[in-house]
Amino acid sequence: MKDWGKALSALVWLSAQTVWADDATASSPGTTAPAVATPATATPPTATTDNSSSSSAPASDSTSTTSPAPGKGKAKAEAALKQQASDASSEKNLAQVFDASQPTYSLLRKGGATLYYTFDYTYYYNAAIDIALTPNSSAISRFRIEEDAQNTITNSLSLDYGVWDNLTFNTLLPMVAKYDSTNNLTTMALGDASFSARWQPVPEERGTMSTTLFGVFSTASGVSPYNINLNTDLSTGKGYYSLTGGASFSKVLDPVVVFGSLSDTLGLNVTGLNQNRAGQILTAFQPGATFSGTAGLGYSLNYDISITASYQMGYSLATTYDFAGGTTVRTPDMVAASINFSVGFRTTPTQIINIGFAYGLTQDTPNIDLTVTVPMDISGMMKTH
């Protein structure tokens, strides 16, 4: 028992010596506890020791926070190392890098669809002299003035669908109503439906010009002007199939956008006709190619209103008409030009209504052309871009 008592006394004495040494080290003036290594993301202690007071009095508990208790320091380190909602993560960084490396296009995104409704009103007036001479050209056998005044209203539905991010497919379905005020004729029927595609070969980059290639296939679904009685009927289409190919260009010079386009339209030959024109029977015709160009600019007045002005011109090669009996008539080349203005109104954050006005500068273009385009978003079916 005495040995056990001596051993227990020695153990108590050693423990007291250890505690006294630790207290002396912590309270000695000018000395600090060994630094604890903390992770870089851990929040460093904000309390500091006043050196001027430490030389005259032992440091209090509030000034010894440079060496937190082992348990509390570990908890702080673990809390600091935990992922916070606002912290950057490898997943977020990877997503940002991936999104930044994705090409940017101005067309619809893949799988996106937008439906547009367009109302177009045109008024066309023309007066032409119809004159015929005798075989020896010594006298006039016919002289009259032909007037043509037509009002045309076209209601169109246009559907855009994003096949890829840089490829958009379009379908246009027009319904045409015409009124000829000179001859008091009216008609309403389907116009020429068309299918087109727009492709951006190169992604958009800030400060560079954006290029879009496009192709259009126009049908002859409307009433053909070559299959009607010219004295009693009106047409709602051009009467032949056509293919158009071209490219459009645009560049943003904030707040101005400059744009332009070049295109070529080829019409397919039409045969098997039997139409009476001025006493002759039209049997076939070959439409000439048409080269078109557009140039203009758009200016944003503010976030809700923008204006656009452009000049459009087309040069059409000669069209050849074949009549029964072997007679062939070839028209001269023609030029058509117009000036276009439009205003865009933002009605919602994702919807812009465009109102356009065009004035024809040549004889074969409408005197008045008013267009209103409204995007239509059908919830659950259509997605706007």
| 252 and 282 together in one domain | yes
Residue-level pLDDT at 36? 37
Residue 196 falls within a domain, yes or no? yes
Residues 96-140: pLDDT tens digits? 444 444 567 778 888 888 899 999 999 988 776 767 777 776 777
Domain termination residue (choose one: 80, 101, 122): 101
Element counts in the chain: helices (H) and strands (E): 4, 17
| 240 and 353 together in one domain | yes
Q: Is 175 left (phi over 0), alpha (psi -120 to 50) or beta?
A: beta
For 381, counting Cβ atoms within 10 Å of its Cβ (0-12 exposed, 13-18 middle, 19+ buried), the class is: exposed
| 182 and 320 together in one domain | yes
List the one residue out of 339, 341, 336 whose CA is nearest residue 362: 336
Residue 383 falls within a domain, yes or no? no
- Give residue 147's identity as a one-letter amino acid code: E
152: number of Cβ within 10 Å: 19
| 305 and 238 together in one domain | yes
Q: Retrieve residue 329's tokens.
A: 């008539």
Q: Are residues 143 and 129 in contact, defined by beta-carbon separation less than 8 angstroms?
A: yes
| 225 and 296 together in one domain | yes
| 174 and 254 together in one domain | yes
List the one residue out of 336, 331, 256, 330 whose CA is nearest residue 296: 256
Would you call 283 helix, strand, or coil by DSSP? strand
Q: Are residues 101 and 164 in contact, defined by beta-carbon separation less than 8 angstroms?
A: no
Asked whether the CA dihedral 367, 173, 163, 199 is positive or negative, the reply is negative
Q: Is 32 left (phi over 0), alpha (psi -120 to 50) or beta?
A: beta
Q: Are residues 157 and 116 in contact, defined by beta-carbon separation less than 8 angstroms?
A: yes
| 317 and 270 together in one domain | yes
Q: Is omega for the bond preceding 255 within 30 degrees of 0, making it cis? A: yes
| 168 and 300 together in one domain | yes
| 186 and 96 together in one domain | no
Residue-level pLDDT at 102? 55
Residue-level pLDDT at 378? 55
Q: Is 277 left (phi over 0), alpha (psi -120 to 50) or beta?
A: beta
Domain membership of residue 177 as a residue range: 113-376
Give the CATH number, domain containing residue 295.
2.40.160.40
Residue 10 falls within a domain, yes or no? no
Would you call 261 helix, strand, or coil by DSSP? strand
Would you call 40 helix, strand, or coil by DSSP? coil
β-bridge pairing 185-190 and 275-277: unpaired
Tens-digit pLDDT string for the chain (385 aa): 445 444 445 444 544 444 444 444 444 444 433 333 333 333 444 434 344 333 343 333 433 434 444 444 444 444 444 444 444 444 545 444 444 445 677 788 888 888 999 999 999 887 767 677 777 767 776 667 777 788 999 999 999 999 998 899 999 999 999 998 888 899 999 999 999 999 999 887 777 889 999 999 999 999 999 999 888 899 999 999 999 999 999 998 878 899 999 999 999 999 999 998 878 899 999 999 999 999 999 998 888 899 999 999 999 999 999 999 888 989 999 999 999 999 999 888 878 899 999 988 888 888 889 999 998 865 445 444 4
One DSSP character per residue, 75-95 reads HHHHHHHSPPTTS--HHHHHH
Residue-level pLDDT at 248? 95
Give how many domains the chain has, as a whole number.
Answer: 2
Domain termination residue (choose one: 75, 101, 127): 101
Residue 186 falls within a domain, yes or no? yes
Q: Retrieve residue 370's tokens.
A: 């008013």
| 274 and 336 together in one domain | yes
Q: Retrieve residue 311's tokens.
A: 């000049």
Residue-level pLDDT at 288? 92
278: Cβ–Cβ under 8 A, 6 or more apart, which residues?
Answer: none
Q: What are phi and psi of 73, to 5 degrees?
A: -65, -40
CA distance 29 to 374: 82
Domain termination residue (choose one: 101, 125, 154): 101
CA distance 323 to 271: 11
| 259 and 357 together in one domain | yes
CA dihedral 106, 111, 112, 113 (to 10 degrees): 120
CA distance 59 to 304: 66
221: number of Cβ within 10 Å: 17
Would you give the end-to-end CA distance of the chain in angstroms? 93
| 95 and 150 together in one domain | no
Residue 192 falls within a domain, yes or no? yes
309: Cβ–Cβ under 8 A, 6 or more apart, which residues?
Answer: 296, 297, 298, 339, 340, 341
Residue-level pLDDT at 343? 93
Residue 340 falls within a domain, yes or no? yes
User: Angle CA(249)–CA(252)–CA(256) in degrees, nearest 5?
Assistant: 110
User: Residues for the chain: how many in total?
Assistant: 385
